[in-house]
Chain A
Amino acid sequence: MSELRKRTFVVTRFDPDVDHAPKTQSYEVACRPDWKVLDALNFIKDEIDGTLSHRWSCRMAVCGSCGMNVDGEPKLTCKTSLADYGDRVEIAPLANFPIIRDLVIDMDGFMEKLESVKPWILVAKQKAAEEGTNRQSPEQLAAFKQFSMCINCMLCYAACPVVSQEPHFLGPAAIALGHRYNMDSRDEGAAQRNRVFRGEGNVFACSYANECSEVCPKHVDPAAAVNQAKLNAVIDWATSFVVRREG
C-alpha cells in the first residue's frame, strides 16, 4: 500500500434555511494516491460530516452528475485525479448556476434550454417500426456522432464567459445538442431548430472564447458545434428568402 497524503479540502457550504450566503468549511483527509476528487468528498460525507451534500452516481465519467469547480476550474470530480493537486484543494459548486445547497446547483434553467432546441428526431411522418431501420452510412453517422457524446455535466456553462454575463444564452451544450439533430441524416427539423438558434438568447451571442471545448470531459467540442450552428442558421435564414421568392 502506497503512502497516504494529507490534504485540506476547503468546501463550499450553504443551507438556505440557515445561511444568508455560501461559506466554506475545511476538512483534513488522508488521501490514497489513486483517489479522484470525488473519493475525498465521499470520505468526508461517510466518515467526517454527514451533513455535506453533493451529487454523484456512476463514478465512471458518464452520468454527468458530479461536476464542480475544483480550485476554480470546472471539473468532473470522478475523473479528476487528486495527484494533480496540492495540499489544499478548494471545492465549490459549478460557477454560473444558482446554489441549492452546498455543492448542489440548480439546473432547471439548463434543462429548459436543452428542451428548447427540440432534441428529438423531427420528421413529417413517423415511420412504423415494422418498416425497418433507416440506412445511415458511417460517414452520415460521423457528421453528428461527436455532438451526441454530451453527458450534460454542465462544465461548459460554468466555463462560458457569455453565460456568466447573459444567463439566457442557450449555451454550449444545448446548441451542440440541437446541432447534433440538425446534422443527423434522419432528421427533417433543422428549420425549426434554426429559428430557435436565431431567437432570443441565440447562438450569435457566443464570443468564440472556446472555454467550453477546453473544459469538456468528453471532447464534444461544443465550440465547433456553436460555430457550425451559427453558419447554418444564417444560411437557412438567407435561403428562406430565396425559397419564398421562388414560391
Chain B
Amino acid sequence: MVEIHRHDIVVVGGGAAGLRAAIAAVEADPRISVAMVSKVYPMRSHTVSAEGGAAAYVPGSEDSLEKHAYDTVKGSDFLADQDSVDYFVEQATLELTRLEHWGCPWSRNPDGSVATRPFGGMTVPRTWFATDKVGFHMLHTLFQHSMRFDRIVRYDENFATRLLVDGGACRGVAAIDIRSGAMRCFLGRAVILATGGAGKCFPFTTNGTIKTGDGMALAYRAGVGLKDMEFVQYHPTGLPGTGILITEASRGEGGYLVNSEGERFLVTRDYGVGQKAELGPRDMISRAMILEIEAGRGIKGSYGEYMNLDLRHLGEAKITAKLPFVRELASTYVGVDPVHAPIPVRPVVHYMMGGVDTDLRAATPLAGLYAAGETACVSMNGANRLGSNSLTECLVFGARAGVEAVAHARATSVGDEAPLRSQTEAEAARIDALRGRKKGGEKIAQIRHEMQLSMERGCGVYRNQAAMQQTVAELAQLKGRYADLVLEDSSKVFNTEILQALELGNLLDVAEAVAVAAAARRESRGAHACRDYPKRNDQEFLHHSMVFFTPAGPRLDRKGVTITRFQPEERKY
C-alpha cells in the first residue's frame, strides 16, 4: 500500500524556483494547496551556493530593459528565444523588488538604495547583491517567507522518482519518503519541476552532491524533450581539487586573472573579449584559460594546472566588505588569504543552459507539467548564460510556473486516482527490488566515476567529434552496466544508498542527452566549442537541439529559435 497525499499543485524541488512557484501559486488563489516535495530541506537546496548576484534593471539608472535584453541575447550567441528574454528582463526588477520587500538583505548604497556591481558580459552594472552570498540570502528569504503560508505543505526529504501521467496529462509524482523508506503518491492537477541542474554528470563541478538532474530525467522518461543539452557552462574560477566556486564578483569588483608569467592574458592577448578583459563572458574566458594552459603558461599544482586570480590590489578593506565569503572559502579550502596571495583557479562545470523544454508560460508540452529554473530550458540562456541572470530567472519563471499551474488546475478536474495509484505501486515494487540487491557487478561509485571522466573527456571546454562519439558509446555501455548495479543496504530507514543509485540513473540519462546533442552540433556556438568545427554556422545550426527518450536510445530533433529584434551578428566584445 502507498500513502496518498492530495493537493492542487505538486512542486518538486525547494530551491529558489520551487519556493517562488509555491508562493506565487498560493498568492494567486486563496483556495489552492501546494505540496512542496523536496529531497532535502529547502534551505539545503543548491541555490544556497550562488554567490555573485542577481541581474535586473534598476529604475532611474543608466541601464535599460533593451540593454539587458541585448546583453543576454548576445551572451547566448543568439540562440536564446527573444520573447523569453523580453519577458525575463521586464519581470526581473519586480521580482528582485519583491524579495527586497520580503526581507532579502541586499547590499546598499550610502543613500539607502539597492547597490549593483558589474558582471561578466553585462554592459552596465545591473547585478544586485548581498555581499557575496546572494544565493544563500535569496534562498533563506524565500524559504522563511514561504513559512507564513499554511497552504504550502512541506514534504521535506521526499525524493521524486517518477511522474504520474494519465490521459495525456501529468497528475502527480511518486516519491520515496526518505525517513521511512515508504513510497508516497502525491496527487495534483498540475506538477512543477524545479530540481536544478545536473553538474554531477562531471567530475569537477561547483555543484553540490544533490545536483543530479532529477527533474530533467523525470520529464525525459515521461516523453518530454530535453532542449539544448549540449550547452554546459564552465565557470572560469573554481578551486582546484574541490571545484568550489569563487564568484565572478571577484572580477566584477576588479580582480585580475594572470598566468604563470604574471601576465593578464585577457588584456595582453586576443581572446575575443576586447575591452571587457576579465569581465568577458564565461565561455570565452574559460576557453582562454585552457589555451593558456595548452601554451605552457599554466601553473602546476597537485590537482592539475591552474591560473591565478589576483585580488591583492583591491586591498583588505574592499575584500572584507564585498567578498568576505571568497576570503573564507580560499582560506578554508586552499589555504590562501586573497589579501596576501593570489587564488588558484580552474574552469569548472557550473550550469546547464539546457533542460526540460518549456515555453514562455513555463509549460512543457505535457499537459499539467511545468518547469522553472536550471531544470528548465525556456530558453533565455541559449548557448551561454550570463552570470547573475540565473538567480533572477528562478524567480521570474518560478513565479510564472506557479501562476500558470493554478490556472491549469482550476480548469482541470481531479480525475481517476486508480491508474495513478497503480503506477505508484509499480514504482514501489521497482525500487524495493533494487534495494540491497546483492547480486550483480559493480558499485555505484565505480560507474559514477567512469561516467564523470567520460563526460570530461568528451564534453569539456573544448570538444571534438571523435571524443564526443566515444563518450556517447561509453555512456551507452555504462547504462548497460548500471542495470547490473550491486547494492549493499537493504534497510528502509534513511537508506541513502538507494537514493544514490536512483540519482546515478538520472545522471546517466541526462549525460547521454548532453553527449548525443553535443555530437550532433557540428559548429561552435557559445559554450559548445568544437575543434573540428571552430565557427558558428547559422545556416545549418541556428536551432535548438531536442533530445527525446526512446527505449532504443535517445532520438534527436530540432526546434526553431524565436528571433525578434536582435538579428544574429558576429559575437565580439
- Residues of A whose CB lies within 8 Å of any CB of B are 1-2, 15-18, 34, 45-47, 49-51, 53-65, 79, 100-102, 104, 107, 111, 114-115, 118-121, 126-127, 129-130, 132-138, 140-141, 144-145, 148-149, 151-152, 177, 181, 184, 186-187
B496 part of interface (Cβ distance < 8 Å) = yes
Chain A min CB distance to B573 (Å): 30
**Residues of chain B lying within 8 A (CB to CB) of residue A102:** 494
Q: Could you tell me the distance between the alpha carbons of A65 and B102 in the complex, rounded to whole angstroms?
A: 25
Additional A-B contacts beyond A63-B44, A133-B100, A137-B110 (6; CB < 8 A): A2-B302, A51-B497, A114-B144, A129-B101, A135-B113, A144-B105
Partner of A59, one of B110, B147, B244, B489: B244
Most chain B beta-carbon contacts within 10 A, residue among A18, A50, A100, A126: A50
In the A-B complex, the 4 residue pairs with the smallest Cβ-Cβ separation, listed nearest first, are A135-B112, A101-B494, A46-B445, A57-B208
B48 part of interface (Cβ distance < 8 Å) = yes
**Residues of chain B lying within 8 A (CB to CB) of residue A61:** 328-329, 332
**When each residue 35-76 of chain B gets 1 if its CB lies under 8 Å from chain A and 0 otherwise, what string results?**
000001101111011000000000100000000000000000
Q: Which of B133-141, B167-175, B352-360, B557-565 contacts A (4 or more CB under 8 A)?
A: B133-141
Given contacts A120-B148, A138-B108, contact A100 B244 (CB under 8 A): no
Pair B493/A59 contact, Cβ less than 8 Å: no
Q: Could you tell me the distance between the alpha carbons of A64 and B43 in the complex, rounded to whole angstroms?
A: 8
B209 part of interface (Cβ distance < 8 Å) = yes
Q: Could you tell me the distance between the alpha carbons of A140 and B223 in the complex, rounded to whole angstroms?
A: 51
| Residue total for B at the interface (Cβ-Cβ under 8 A) | 62
**Residues of chain A lying within 8 A (CB to CB) of residue B571:** none
Q: Could you tell me the distance between the alpha carbons of A184 and B98 in the complex, rounded to whole angstroms?
A: 16
Given contacts A49-B488, A100-B494, contact A62 B48 (CB under 8 A): yes
Q: Could you tell me the distance between the alpha carbons of A187 and B141 in the complex, rounded to whole angstroms?
A: 13
Chain A min CB distance to B263 (Å): 28
Majority SS of interface residues in chain A?
Answer: loop
Q: Could you tell me the distance between the alpha carbons of A156 and B570 in the complex, rounded to whole angstroms?
A: 55
Q: Could you tell me the distance between the alpha carbons of A53 and B491 in the complex, rounded to whole angstroms?
A: 11
Given contacts A46-B444, A46-B445, A47-B445, contact A120 B103 (CB under 8 A): yes
Partner of A51, one of B156, B210, B491: B491
Pair A50/B40 contact, Cβ less than 8 Å: no
Q: Using a CB-CB cutoff of 8 Å, which residues 128-154 of chain B contact chain A?
A: 133, 136-137, 140, 144-145, 147-148
B245 part of interface (Cβ distance < 8 Å) = yes
Q: Could you tell me the distance between the alpha carbons of A64 and B497 in the complex, rounded to whole angstroms?
A: 21
Pair B209/A59 contact, Cβ less than 8 Å: yes
Q: Could you tell me the distance between the alpha carbons of A151 and B43 in the complex, rounded to whole angstroms?
A: 8
Chain A min CB distance to B265 (Å): 27
CB nearest neighbor in B for A102 = B494
Given contacts A16-B493, A51-B489, contact A120 B209 (CB under 8 A): no
Chain B min CB distance to A165 (Å): 26
B487 part of interface (Cβ distance < 8 Å) = yes
Chain B min CB distance to A57 (Å): 4
Pair A133/B49 contact, Cβ less than 8 Å: no
Partner of A135, one of B97, B111, B136, B487: B111
Most chain B beta-carbon contacts within 10 A, residue among A107, A130, A138: A138
Given contacts A57-B44, A59-B209, A120-B145, contact A17 B491 (CB under 8 A): yes
Q: Could you tell me the distance between the alpha carbons of A108 and B203 in the complex, rounded to whole angstroms?
A: 34
Sample 28 A-B pairs with CB under 8 A, ordered by A number: A15-B493, A17-B491, A46-B444, A50-B444, A51-B488, A51-B491, A51-B497, A53-B496, A53-B497, A57-B46, A57-B209, A58-B44, A58-B48, A58-B208, A60-B333, A114-B147, A119-B144, A120-B103, A120-B144, A121-B101, A129-B101, A133-B97, A133-B100, A133-B101, A138-B108, A138-B110, A152-B43, A186-B101
Pair A129/B43 contact, Cβ less than 8 Å: no
Pair B105/A145 contact, Cβ less than 8 Å: yes
Pair B209/A56 contact, Cβ less than 8 Å: yes
B408 part of interface (Cβ distance < 8 Å) = no
**Residues of chain B lying within 8 A (CB to CB) of residue A53:** 494-497
Q: Could you tell me the distance between the alpha carbons of A119 and B144 in the complex, rounded to whole angstroms?
A: 6
**Residues of chain B lying within 8 A (CB to CB) of residue A15:** 491, 493
Most chain A beta-carbon contacts within 10 A, residue among B45, B101, B145, B148: B101
**Residues of chain A lying within 8 A (CB to CB) of residue B110:** 137-138
**Residues of chain B lying within 8 A (CB to CB) of residue A107:** 41
Partner of A58, one of B49, B493, B496: B49
